[in-house]
Chains A and B, each alone.
Chain A
């Protein structure tokens, strides 16, 4: 029987310049579930998101993601999608070129039809050949969703998912979150619970200092 994908964090601690951001953070989230990360400003939500995304190392503890909570040989770059305010696109390139770069740098083939479909979905298709630097902040946020979803990640991590989005953009993101909930694992870092609705596990960083 095939084991379900599990994301688990065990005893996570992060220290910056002798300041403990958080400690003793542990969680488990299985396929089809939503992990919510909450905490006041400066409590380390984005730091925890970066640790789960493997772009930052924890001072102590570990994060594992794979069947039954075990790591696989697959590089995590092909399994994780991230949307966050501090993630920047390559602005001298167009939306379509950014998606092509994202796939080719991962060493994966670029599927132009899928890229166009995603750009259509986030309502950027008419502007697909314009450099990203000409986009508004809301359009850049939509672009990040296309960038994060192109390789169909099992784990989608959203930090402040609705920032800069208009009503139409919020609707698009809600549908993306619903889909991810049924196809893999969704991690959301936010203090606005209307962003997310239902969740299965919560990590409250206010209690982890």
Chain B
């Protein structure tokens, strides 16, 4: 083995280095974090004012939670590739990192970002929206975890595709919606089950769909990413 051969350990170091670069860049610029937080706070405030003293069904509240998360994610998750394109550093990354390492590094960054977004959103939503009650917390936590992973996986590859487009701002949610629709329907249903206090076994079917969705999206993204990234 030569000194520079790409071993699994070296590949992992490369993935972590890309994640750390993006994370430190985000801490310095706070571009995505600010956009995400502002969106979440504004949207929850609008929902709060719209509902007023009237209640809403568990179905509607579960749906609204994921509407906030979906559009919040849309406002921030594309930044990881769009910023590289706007600053002209896409070529720099292409020169120093294998395409698959870039994909997994960006995926890891988006996963951390969307997990953070979801935690903040759920805390604010549960704190301010009366009537949103979770009766089975483990089912809800698994839903949030798998939903975050699914969002990050789909958002990462879509962001890589739209980063080269001139109309990237509007293209991102438009392209994301059909791809994320199966994910959205499943997490909304799983959240409704958690708020109704359903047992873990009752939600197992939803979790299987979520895991399948994540596996399919990650594998297809991994296979296609080099073509998206290079030319």
Cβ A82 vs Cβ B95 within 8 A: yes
Cβ B17 vs Cβ A105 within 8 A: yes
> Contacts of B29 on A, CB cut-off 8 Å?
92
Q: For the complex formed, measure the closest distance between the CB of A2 and the CB atoms of chain B, giving whole angstroms.
A: 13
> Contacts of B92 on A, CB cut-off 8 Å?
87-90
Cβ B230 vs Cβ A55 within 8 A: yes
When the two chains form the complex, which single residue of A73, A75, A86, A90 contacts B91, counting CB atoms closer than 8 Å?
A: A86
> Which residues of chain A in 68-125 are interfacial with respect to chain B, using CB atoms and an 8 Å cutoff?
72-75, 77-80, 82, 86-93, 101-102, 104-108
> Which residues of chain A in 38-72 are interfacial with respect to chain B, using CB atoms and an 8 Å cutoff?
50, 53, 55-57, 72
The segment from B4-12, B115-123, B149-157 found at the interface with A is B4-12
Q: Count A/B pairs, Cβ under 8 Å.
A: 81
Q: Does B98 contact A (CB under 8 A)?
A: yes
Cβ B2 vs Cβ A74 within 8 A: yes
User: Chain A CB within 10 Å — which of B6, B11, B92, B97 has the most?
Assistant: B92
Residues of B in contact (CB 8 Å), total 30
Cβ B91 vs Cβ A87 within 8 A: yes
> Contacts of B42 on A, CB cut-off 8 Å?
none
When the two chains form the complex, which single residue of B21, B89, B96, B231 contacts A88, counting CB atoms closer than 8 Å?
A: B89
Cβ A77 vs Cβ B96 within 8 A: yes
When the two chains form the complex, which single residue of A57, A77, A89 contacts B230, counting CB atoms closer than 8 Å?
A: A57
> Contacts of B96 on A, CB cut-off 8 Å?
77, 102, 105-106
Cβ B89 vs Cβ A90 within 8 A: yes
Q: Does B212 contact A (CB under 8 A)?
A: no
Q: A74 CA to B10 CA in the complex, in Å?
A: 12
Q: A86 CA to B90 CA in the complex, in Å?
A: 10
Q: A207 CA to B14 CA in the complex, in Å?
A: 41
> Contacts of B14 on A, CB cut-off 8 Å?
104-107
> Contacts of A50 on B, CB cut-off 8 Å?
91
Q: For the complex formed, measure the closest distance between the CB of A76 and the CB atoms of chain B, giving whole angstroms.
A: 9
> Contacts of B18 on A, CB cut-off 8 Å?
105
When the two chains form the complex, which single residue of B5, B13, B98, B231 contacts A73, counting CB atoms closer than 8 Å?
A: B5
Q: Does B93 contact A (CB under 8 A)?
A: yes
Q: A107 CA to B2 CA in the complex, in Å?
A: 14
Q: Does B127 contact A (CB under 8 A)?
A: no
Can you name the residue of chain B whose Cβ is closest to the Cβ of A74? B4
Cβ A107 vs Cβ B11 within 8 A: yes
Q: For the complex formed, measure the closest distance between the CB of B220 and the CB atoms of chain A, giving whole angstroms.
A: 21
Can you name the residue of chain A whose Cβ is closest to the Cβ of B4? A78
When the two chains form the complex, which single residue of B4, B17, B24, B231 contacts A75, counting CB atoms closer than 8 Å?
A: B4
When the two chains form the complex, which single residue of A80, A93, A102 contacts B25, counting CB atoms closer than 8 Å?
A: A93
Q: A106 CA to B14 CA in the complex, in Å?
A: 6
- Ordered by A's residue number, 24 sampled pairs between the chains whose C-beta atoms are within 8 Å are A55-B91, A55-B94, A73-B5, A75-B5, A79-B4, A82-B95, A87-B92, A87-B95, A88-B87, A89-B92, A90-B21, A90-B89, A93-B21, A93-B25, A104-B14, A105-B18, A105-B21, A105-B97, A107-B6, A107-B11, A107-B14, A107-B17, A107-B101, A108-B4
**Closest 6 CB pairs between A and B?**
A107-B10, A104-B17, A88-B88, A78-B4, A107-B14, A55-B94
Contacts A57-B231, A74-B6 supplied; 5 other A-B pairs, CB < 8 Å: A79-B4, A90-B87, A92-B29, A107-B11, A108-B4
